[in-house]
Amino acid sequence: MTRFRDALAAPGLQAIAEVKRRSPSAGDLRPDADPAELAPAFALAGAAACSILVDERFGGSFDDLRAARASTGLPLLAKGFFTEEAHLLACRDAGADAALLLLRDLDDARAAALLALAAELGLETLVEAHDADELDRAVALGAPVIGINARDLSSFAIDRAAQLSLVARAPRDRVIVAESAVDSRAKGAAAELAGADAILVGSALMRASDPSAKLSDLLRRPLVKVCGLTREEDVAVAADAGADLAGFILAKESPRTAPGVLEVPETMLAVAVHVGETADSGADLVQLYRREDGHRSRDAVLLRDGEQVARVVDLPWQEDDPSHLERAAEVEGRLMLAGGLDASNVGAAIAAVHPWAVDASSRLETAPGIKDHAKVRAFVEAAR
């Protein structure tokens, strides 16, 4: 069986799928959730591990952990408020591979003692931090797997910006898990690009009509970008269709130059597209082309806070290339595939290249910068 840490450290964004019947902040989520059914379904959907709430405040028990253990070979994380040695023994005896340790509830001496006992028991840990001080403590304690929770467990407030900032500053020699409020492909991507190895998803799965299908959507499909947006109504249509990335071209010479980076809903990330040089636009990401012969270069890079996080393989300026997909398929790491895509060909392109994201613009228009809403919807549907 793959160990908990190793499963989360595998290439690409991994996920811990959580079985949670209720939440103190949200009330009942899925009162009839059966871990014996959900855990193997999550494994098939791509989960790296499964989290089981064993605390009665969440409608859980150690019997749920035993039921999950009997039904799946996935690494199992026991989640509860564990502060005593007996709690870890109970987790181990019920079949857990790892246990949650909340630094909010533990001083350094107690946390160190529990980490040492867990190691003796062959039990891995997820050490959870909520702020910069707790992150520093987790690092100093030598925690191999650190969870960074966007939710304040006292007020239940969500602060994703603070979470992503902590994820970005966490040391890369640890496995970092972004926890709470990941309910869209774009939010998962934001955590991944900040440096998270994995996400922990509970409420979004429990609320979904098909939890395993929701998990697969968060993990397995490419991100979908609609670029060349210039109008709020086109952003709204792209968002409603299910696009994850909204692209705004800020190069002055483009016929699709946007007035700026328009507001996007929280289910999307905004991408500012520049040629030659960048400027602060407030976008989540920057897509930067070189300037060649007065136009954009063929390919680009995707930047987060000035650091490259993906490559963009495009077509030459106003030209075609029969080897486009073959060239894209040779790229290692995160690939955004752009150039000549629409509903008619994006499915074949995805099958050939397996990109991290797909990007369409001119073929979704009635005029430069004016989107054909039917074409936008058809493209997003075909790409998802």
CA 357/CA 293 separation, integer angstroms: 28
Whether the per-residue pLDDT at 24 is higher than 90: the answer is: no
Q: How confident is the model at residue 347 (pLDDT cuts 50, 70, 90)?
A: very high
308 pLDDT higher than 80: yes
Does position 277 have pLDDT exceeding 70, yes or no? yes
Catalytic residue numbers? 18, 20, 79, 128, 149, 179-180
Do 167 and 178 touch, CB atoms closer than 8 A?
Answer: yes
Does residue 158 carry a pLDDT above 90? no
SS3 state at 240: helix
DSSP string, 163-229: HHHHHHHS-TTSEEEEES---SHHHHHHHHHHT-SEEEE-HHHHHSSSHHHHHHHHHTSPEEEE---
* pLDDT confidence of residue 317: 80
Residue 316 gets which letter from DSSP?
A: P
| pLDDT, position 377 | 98
- Residue range 328-339, pLDDT digits in tens: 999 999 999 999
Mean pLDDT across the chain, nearest whole number?
95
How confident is the model over 33-91, as pLDDT tens digits? 999 999 999 999 999 999 999 998 889 999 999 999 999 999 999 999 999 999 999 99
Q: How is 263-298 classified by DSSP, letter by letter? A: ---TTSEEEEEEESS------SEEEEEEEETTEEEE
The residue-averaged pLDDT of 195-202 equals 96
Q: What percent of the chain has pLDDT over 90?
A: 86
Exposed/middle/buried for 119, CB within 10 Å: 0-12, 13-18, 19+?
A: exposed
Is the pLDDT at 154 greater than 90? The verdict is no
Q: In angstroms, rounded to a whole number, what is the distance separating the alpha carbons of residues 155 and 330?
A: 48
The answer to whether the Cα torsion of 151, 156, 158, 159 is positive or negative is: negative
Q: What is the pLDDT of residue 216?
A: 95
Three-state SS for 129? strand
36's enclosing H/E stretch is helix 35-45
Q: Are 382 and 358 in contact (CB under 8 A)?
A: no
Amino acid 153: pLDDT? 65
